[in-house]
A and B are shown apart, each in its own frame.
Chain A
């Protein structure tokens, strides 16, 4: 099979890290992937302007849930302004696989809800359109057809 469903991803899907709820939290956010209905919420506790605790909850495909799990440890200790600057490349580096245009939003949902919680941002990382693929991906696919 391909890299998408290697053991690392499946392990995070079946045993997600930092999943659950935080009784004491400073901010939270919930959103879904409009294309397919993956759901993810996040609770965050802050220490000054740094993320000290983070907990996701939701349901969805392996990529959406595993991506949130994988990035969760990396987000702890980051400042709000550091997280504001993260984009798809951060997610892709962390999960270690390229995401196809059809799966990009699954992978980005975790980062999106974190940025929503910390920054009140409604839009997808990198300005990916709400109901369509990333323009970069469109250009790449066009050249391959």
Chain B
């Protein structure tokens, strides 16, 4: 494929980056794959695939308990990944808990911290732009505890309103604010540092869903000031099956364990046990070692590109997409109009063509986009649409691919006669 000579990171051209992702050489009916569904999951570079392969071929053993050489190597890969991930987000390894995905990270908080700290009469405050993973666990918690679940509304500009947050916090009942760093539908980058500051002044704890943010923004948990920060490996060039809960050390120390079993204990008596220190306290059972090694490789890959460069590359693609779509008749784009205020995804609708039909017709052109409710049904209702189409970008996407998307959308319009 013809690609621009734009640089993604350091001295690396997009072309060089693309060569790192074997799946991008796939073609469908002679048409090269245009993968624009990165907000659902990203593709994986050879470095990640090889890290997983090397663990199984050379170093496969269980972690934590055995004395032999292979066990030491497995431990080094897994704990090395933890150190790399912690460093990547400005946290410490002891605050970095490996879980299955962002959903499990949020549920971990629900079953540990929240059960201890949220009671009847309290408010759990989330927003209308959350993924279901940051809504349903809190619904379940509120059913269990009798707490109230409240939502910050999304304005016509796709943003939250700080005055509404202040109003909610002024009740003095808000125990937890659960908010996405970047909306997976609108692309809105929420001011989580400000939100955390206000929430803390009101005595509330803050959980940030960073699943969309960590793959595309420089994230520093210390600077953001949140209490919990959840994200997942597979959206940031890493494998499925591994995610991260970062939490402030003193919270992790006070929280009860999540699941019980091996690895999370210090001593086990017949009738009680004592717990290992965090993060082990929250990692019962044999962990996803291969996936950990893969995530470590993904973080190193992103670090080499440099997250400032990644952000700049993807912001440029988003701005270009907004520009191309605004030139088309009958296209409505959702979310903030300025690429500087949004992450690297664009949700839109084309008048007269249902998003599924758009996605289907794009697929015939080998352009992979997402259509549906994006696991954000409350937001769909707020926007007044049953579904949207969404194009989302990663380090390997190009402007030429955006052009191919626009060509496919034009084709859909002509098929439907709109």
- Do chains A and B stick together as partners? yes
Flag if B372 contacts A37 (CB, 8 Å).
yes
**Residue A59 interfacial (CB < 8 Å):** yes
In B371-392, the 8 Å CB interface with A consists of 371-373, 377, 380, 386-387
A-chain residues with CB within 8 Å of residue B372 when the two chains form the complex: 35-37
In angstroms, Cα B387 to Cα A39, docked, is 11
Least CB separation from A1: chain B residue = B415
Can you show 30 pairs from A to B with CB atoms below 8 A apart? Answer: A1-B364, A1-B411, A1-B415, A2-B364, A4-B360, A5-B357, A5-B415, A10-B416, A36-B356, A36-B371, A36-B372, A36-B373, A36-B387, A37-B372, A37-B373, A37-B377, A37-B386, A38-B356, A38-B386, A39-B386, A60-B356, A61-B356, A61-B357, A61-B360, A62-B354, A62-B356, A62-B357, A63-B356, A103-B360, A106-B356
B contacts, CB < 8 Å to A: 354-357, 360-361, 364, 371-373, 377, 380, 386-387, 411, 415-417
Quick check: B415 and A61 within 8 Å, CB to CB?
Answer: no
**In the complex, chain A residues 104-125 whose Cβ is within 8 Å of any chain B Cβ:** 106
- Residue from B364, B386, B415, B417 in contact with A60 in the complex, judged by beta carbons closer than 8 Å: B386
Partner of B386, one of A5, A59, A63, A102: A59
Given contacts A36-B356, A60-B356, 15 further A-B contacts (CB under 8 A): A1-B415, A2-B364, A5-B415, A5-B416, A10-B417, A36-B387, A37-B377, A37-B386, A37-B387, A39-B386, A61-B356, A61-B357, A62-B356, A62-B357, A103-B360
Report yes or no: B360 in contact with A37, Cβ–Cβ below 8 A. no
Cβ–Cβ < 8 Å partners of A39 in chain B: 386
- Chain A residue with Cβ nearest B387: A37
CB-CB < 8 A to A35: which residues of B?
A: 372
Chain B CB within 10 A, most for which of A2, A4, A35, A36 = A36
In the complex the two chains form, is B361's CB within 8 Å of A5's CB? yes
For the complex formed, measure the closest distance between the CB of B401 and the CB atoms of chain A, giving whole angstroms.
21
Central interface residue in B361, B364, B386, by most chain A CB within 10 Å: B386
Most buried by A among B360, B371, B377, B416: B360
Interface bin, chain A: 10 to 19
* B371 to A: closest C-beta gap in Å: 7
Residue of A nearest to B358 (CB): A61
Per the bound structure, the CA–CA distance linking A38 and B355 in Å amounts to 10
Tell me which residues across on chain B come within 8 A of A4, comparing CB atoms. Answer: 360
How far does the alpha carbon of A89 sit from the alpha carbon of B380 in the complex, in Å? 33
Chain A positions within 8 Å of B354 at CB level: 60-62
Within 8 A of B (CB), among A39-67: 39, 59-63
Across the two chains, which residue of chain A brings its CB closest to B353?
A62
Across the two chains, which residue of chain A brings its CB closest to B412?
A5
Q: How far is the CA of A36 from the CA of B371 in the complex (A)?
A: 7
Question: In the complex the two chains form, what is the Cα distance from A60 to B360 in whole Å?
Answer: 14
Assembled-state Cα–Cα distance A10/B371 (Å): 19
Residues of B within 8 A of A10 (CB): 415-417
* 7 closest residue pairs by CB, A with B: A61-B356, A61-B354, A36-B372, A37-B386, A62-B357, A37-B373, A5-B415
Q: Which residues of B contact A63 (CB under 8 A)?
A: 356-357
B residues less than 8 Å from A102 (CB atoms): 360
- Report the separation of the CA atoms of residues A59 and B386 in the bound assembly, to the nearest whole angstrom: 8
> CA–CA, A35 to B375, complex, Å?
10
Interface residues of A in 60-91 (CB under 8 A from B): 60-63
List, in ascending order, chain A residues with CB within 8 A of B417's CB. 10
- Set of chain A residues within 8 Å of B364, measured between Cβ atoms: 1-2
Distance of A15 Cα from B387 Cα, bound (Å)? 22
